[in-house]
Amino acid sequence: MVGSEFLGSLVSSQKAGSHRGIASVCSAHRVVLEAAFVQARHDGLPVLIESTVNQVNQFGGYTGMTPAAFRDFASAEADRAGCPRELVILGGDHLGPYPWRSTESAAAMRASRDLVAECVSAGYGKIHLDASMPLGGDPQDGRGCIDPALAAEREAELAAAAEAAFVELHRIDPRAVPPAYVIGTEVPVPGGVVRAGDPVGVTSVNDFNETVALCADAFRRRGMEEAWSRVCAVVAQPGVEFGDQSVHAYDRSASRALCAAARAMPGIVLEGHSTDYQTTRHLRELVEDGVAILKVGPALTFALRECLFSLERIEEDLLRGEAKASLSNLSGCLEEAMLAQPAHWRGYYTGSEADLWRGRRYGFSDRCRYYWSVPSVSAAVDRLMQNLRTRKIPLPLISQHMPLHYAAVREGRLAAAAEAFLVESVRTELGRYSAATRGGP
């Protein structure tokens, strides 16, 4: 069961009172995907892997991958992890004109239609339509926003392009399943709020109802009632967010009205973005309250970065005294790359030079994730892994630098190997989402 079929069953279960959900893994990092596929294989449940409009698009995005290339990459990683492909759902996040928002609206929408079509043609089973941003020449209100009716009309236009692409895909592959759609765009600043203490509002019931009504009308005016039946979720802000140094925990009392409105809406659940760093209890409460799709990304690469830094400390202790040893200097290489190319972190971290250093290195915003593919950083990771791969890691060093993995190694549940530690670190975080979304009365 994949794509719209699984997501449709998820909605039905939620409406029937079963607290099921699914994590949406938003990452293109190989280790993160491996961990997600290992977790899916263990659970025997579908895994949702999503690429964003900036990350993957018809021009390559910042990963250099088109939708078809991302599909092939994810499929290869699933095979390598022993995860059946039928458990893998691919999704596109914020698909729309965001990368081309400074261009004239007709050109931006043309590029957006092409992107959505390519995602569907590549077999993406979940499509988040987002045309909320003003484009070149658009009239804006006092807040810099466009008319919600215009955004809804453009999202229906993108859905029409997706439906046309699916007709062709189905002609080639009669087993293909049509995509599920997600609408709504009320999300926080990508990557987390900038300052601790910034207020995190909850989507109002009026805004939620207006989003659904306007999009439903726009779909129906185009004769896409059947496509509208596959709109399974609305992106809303239930009051969860994280910043550089802080996490805004879920407060179910603050979102009670929104969640009640969504529960009363036939065929619709909520999708929550920036659920990273929420506790397992809060994740479970989100799912119980109808936020059935939980986006997570930075928390996974944060766990990966934590593990890499711990492995670097092991490397330093293990190779101490070896005259010909060549240390990776991973954290130093990462810092040099971030200083040389500050666009990905500037604006997310504030304060003194020491504050900025701590933010770049340890901040929850995890802007490090944009630098792992920089050649010098990638080479440092490779050297680190090679140094540890060719030496036995002593148990005392594991206990000292990786205490959370030490018991698993002693009990024989985890190999004392650097690669295994990386996957396990990410999987530990994913395991909390698995526990929160597995379902129950």
108 and 27 within one domain: yes
356 and 258 within one domain: no
Digit-coded pLDDT (tens) for 361-414: 999 999 999 999 999 999 999 999 999 999 999 999 999 999 999 999 999 999
215 and 143 within one domain: yes
* Residue range of the domain that includes 352: 302-426
- Are 278 and 21 within 8 A, CB to CB? no
Confirm whether 208 is domain-assigned. yes
376 and 234 within one domain: no
Q: Which of 15-24, 106-115, 124-133, 196-205 has the lowest mean pLDDT?
A: 196-205
408 and 274 within one domain: no
400 and 281 within one domain: no
pLDDT at residue 282 is higher than 70? yes
Instruction: For residue 183, count other CB atoms closer than 10 A to its CB.
Output: 30
161 and 32 within one domain: yes
- Are 241 and 252 within 8 A, CB to CB? no
- What pLDDT shows up at residue 194? 41
Helix axes of 298-319 and 330-340: crossing angle, nearest 10 degrees: 130
Digit-coded pLDDT (tens) for 250-275: 999 999 999 999 999 999 999 999 99
Residue 234's H or E segment, with its range, is strand 231-236
- Are 393 and 418 within 8 A, CB to CB? yes
Q: What is the CATH number of the domain that holds 376?
A: 1.10.400.20
Q: What band does 191 get if pLDDT is binned at 50, 70 and 90?
A: very low
